[in-house]
Structure 1
Amino acid sequence: MKTFNVPIIYRSPLISAIKQQRKQQDKMKKDFTPTRLEFGPLTILLARHFGFCYGVENAIEIAFRTVEENEGKRIFLLSEMIHNPQVNSDLLSRGVRFLMDTSGKQLIPWESLQPEDIVIIPAFGTTLEIEARLESLGIAPLKYNTTCPFVERVWNKAEQIGGKDYTVIVHGKPKHEETRATFSHSRSHTPTIVVKDMEQTHRLAAYIREEAPAEGFYEEFKGQYSEGFDVTKHLGRVGVVNQTTMLASETQAIADYVRQAIQEHYQLPDDRIAERFADTRDTLCYATNDNQTAVTGMLNVEADLAIVVGGYNSSNTSHLVELCEEKLPTYFISSEEKLISPKELLHYDFHNHEELRSSGYLPQKENITLLLTSGASCPDAIVEAVIRKLAGFFGLEHLVDETAAAWA
């Protein structure tokens, strides 16, 4: 797989050495057991896969190279390039400005842009409408494009099944930049609807089975279906794709549920299901799959708590938190700075969208085992900083360098 020129500030000697050695030992990526790091009374179990993925490294390389090669020019990002506060802060410090926030609210008027300005498309991609707006301003919309190839793969899949007269159901967060972009691309080819979770899928299945009055659909799914969507016609032949960072098990469950609803309603045997349900297979990216599977493998080991590191608005990170929360006390932090002391920390409750201050997160016992992972947009340097902070609470930070040397 291609390697990228990512700024050294995001790298970690410790994490790089561990990842490289694990890769050599497990080239087929079949071993999802965590890496065990011992720091006296503290054992840290590090997930087999975590951190920067292909799409993130690709986006970072393009964005930083664009800044370096265009000194003196005005450079804009449509919105956050990835959902990591440190990376976005570094770009802002280099003079890059955001045109919109992550919800799509305009921060800088379109009318203020000039043809010579540079606009970078973030890793989530963007809508066809925004591409057209940039083109109308004399700006080539895809000249500085960091859209993740795995996001584009979803767009291609939607176009492919749309060309065969299937309606596309997108499993994603309706307000997320990637889902907005996927919805825009898909609806240009075929009727499209977004479902955010299994609860909405149950409601959609009621319309597929004609158990709910058709007129109720338009209010219930307001803002989540394409123009001209006809609930009496467009749910008879469907395929499911997803926002690439969603929980894999949930996407599969949604696809299975829709398939079952279609099969039962039209009384189709298994060998005829393709007449009305497209085999899209999984459209999650490899990193989302690997990171989630690595967390599942990590949770098979006895531990006292889990710490997940990443941007608070990172979808893929929040799903790692969800998985950990099923089994352990879990703390979602954005950096080592959130670890105030061995007794207190600041952490994010993504369910209620608030940062909390908690005490007693490290259990009062002789030996502590802690699970650690991070999201796909989190630099390895931050994960190492978290490890150093935790080891430092026990007066053992010096062992981190010894551990890095042992893995090198």
Structure 2
Amino acid sequence: MKTFDVPVVYRSPLISAIKKKRKEADRMKKDFAPTLLDFGPVRIYLARHFGFCYGVENAIDIAFRTVAENPGRRIFLLSEMIHNPQVNADLVAAGVRFLQDTKGKAIVPFEELTADDIVLIPAFGTTLAIEQRLNDIGIRTELYNTTCPFVEKVWNRSEGIAQKGYSIVIHGKPKHEETRATFSHASKDAPSVVVEDMKQTIELAKYIRGEKDAAQFYTEFAGQYSQGFDLLRDLQRIGVVNQTTMLASDTQAIADYLKEVMIEKYGLTEANAREHFADTRDTLCYATNDNQTAVSGMLGVDADLAIVVGGYNSSNTSHLVELCEEKLPTYFINEEAKLLSKDTVLHYNFHNGTENVTEGYLPAKQPATILITSGASCPDALVEGIIRRLLTFYPGSKTVEEVTAQFA
């Protein structure tokens, strides 16, 4: 797989050594057991897979190379490069400016742009309308497009099933940049509708079965269907794709459910289900799958708590938190400073969008056992920083360097 030039500040000697050792021992990636770091008074289990993925490293490489190769030129990011505050802050510090926030609200009006400006398309991709608008100004978006190849894979899959006469159901968060981009590309080729979760999927199925008044659909799914969407015509043949960072189990459940709905409505069997339901296979990226499976493997350890590291607006990270929360106390943080002390942690509740203080989060007993993972847009250096911070709460611990040596 291609390698990228990522700033060394994002790397971690400890985690690089661990990942190298694990890769050498398991090149086919069949072992999802976590890695034990035994520091004595505290035992830390790292998920088998976590941190920067291919698409994120690709985006960071392009972005920083663009800055280095274009001194004096104005460089803009369409929106956040990835959902990590440190990386975005570093790009701003390098002189890059944001055109929009993550919800698409203008920060710098497009009218201020000129053909001499550079606009970086983020890893999530963008809508066809925005791309055309930039091209009309004379900005060559293809030169500075960091769209993740696995997002583009979803677009290609959508185009393929559209050509076979299917409408497209997108499992994703309607306001997320990636889902907005995928919806734009999908609806170019076929009628498309977004479902956020199984609850919305069940309501969509009621329209397919004719159990709800068709007129209600256009209110209930406002902003989530393509222009000219005809409920009675466009839900007869469907295929499911997804935002690449959703929970794999959720997407599979939605696809399985809608397939059964179509089989039931049209009197089909598994053998001829494709007459009304496309065989799309899973469109999650490899890193999302690996990271989620690695968390499941990590949760087999009898531990006291889990720490998940990443940007608070990171979809893939929030799903890792969701998996951990089912098993044990979980703290979602974006930097080591959130570990205020041995007794107090400031952590994020993604369910309601608030930061909360929890006292007594670390167990009194020793050795304490802590699980750690991070999202696909989180630098390994942040994870090492959190490990070092935890060690300060446990006098007599081995040093990070001593443990790193074990993986040399």
Q: TM-score, normalised by structure 1?
A: 0.99
Separation in structure 2 between the aligned mates of residue 403 and residue 298 of structure 1, nearest angstrom:
19
* Equivalent AA in structure 2 for residue 202 of structure 1: I
Counterpart residue number, 2:369:
369
CA contact (8 A) 1:324 1:330 kept: yes
Count of aligned residue pairs for this structure pair: 408
Return the offset for 1:84: 0.2
CA contact (8 A) 1:389 1:397 kept: no
Runs (4+) off by over 4 Å: none
- Pairing of 1:3-402 with structure 2 (within 5 A): 3-396=3-396, 399-402=399-402
Return the offset for 1:270: 1.2
* Equivalent AA in structure 2 for residue 234 of structure 1: D
Match of 2:189, SS state, is: coil
Question: Tell me, which stretches of 5 or more residues in structure 2 are unaligned?
Answer: none
Please list the CA deviations of residues 300-338 of structure 1 after superposition, one character each: whole Å capped at 9, or x if unmatched.
111111000000000000000000000100000001111
* Equivalent AA in structure 1 for residue 39 of structure 2: F
Match of 2:229, SS state, is: coil
Question: Aligned residues: percent identity?
Answer: 67
Separation in structure 1 between the aligned mates of residue 396 and residue 194 of structure 2, nearest angstrom:
49
Separation in structure 2 between the aligned mates of residue 270 and residue 207 of structure 1, nearest angstrom:
22
Return the offset for 1:399: 1.4
Please list the CA deviations of residues 142-161 of structure 1 after superposition, one character each: whole Å capped at 9, or x if unmatched.
21000000000000000110
What is the CA RMSD across the aligned residues, in angstroms? Answer: 0.8
Separation in structure 2 between the aligned mates of residue 347 and residue 25 of structure 1, nearest angstrom:
35
CA contact (8 A) 1:79 1:102 kept: yes
Separation in structure 1 between the aligned mates of residue 174 and residue 6 of structure 2, nearest angstrom:
31
Q: TM-score, normalised by structure 2?
A: 0.99
Return the offset for 1:209: 1.1
Return the offset for 1:225: 0.1
Return the offset for 1:367: 2.1
Please list the CA deviations of residues 11-55 of structure 1 after superposition, one character each: whole Å capped at 9, or x if unmatched.
000000000000011111111000001111211010000000000
* Equivalent AA in structure 1 for residue 405 of structure 2: A
Match of 1:358, SS state, is: strand
Match of 1:154, SS state, is: helix
Return the offset for 1:366: 2.6
Separation in structure 1 between the aligned mates of residue 80 and residue 304 of structure 2, nearest angstrom:
35
Please list the CA deviations of residues 318-364 of structure 1 after superposition, one character each: whole Å capped at 9, or x if unmatched.
00000000010000000111111110011000000011111111012
Separation in structure 2 between the aligned mates of residue 255 and residue 155 of structure 1, nearest angstrom:
17
Separation in structure 1 between the aligned mates of residue 25 and residue 141 of structure 2, nearest angstrom:
43
CA contact (8 A) 1:388 1:397 kept: no
Separation in structure 1 between the aligned mates of residue 9 and residue 342 of structure 2, nearest angstrom:
26
CA contact (8 A) 1:75 1:117 kept: yes
Question: Tell me, which stretches of 5 or more residues in structure 1 are unaligned?
Answer: none
Return the offset for 1:395: 2.6
* Equivalent AA in structure 1 for residue 379 of structure 2: P
CA contact (8 A) 1:51 1:378 kept: yes
Go from structure 1 to structure 2 and tell me whether the alpha carbon gap of 1:396 and 1:2 turns closer, same or farther (over 3 Å shift): farther
CA contact (8 A) 2:41 2:397 kept: no
Match of 1:308, SS state, is: strand
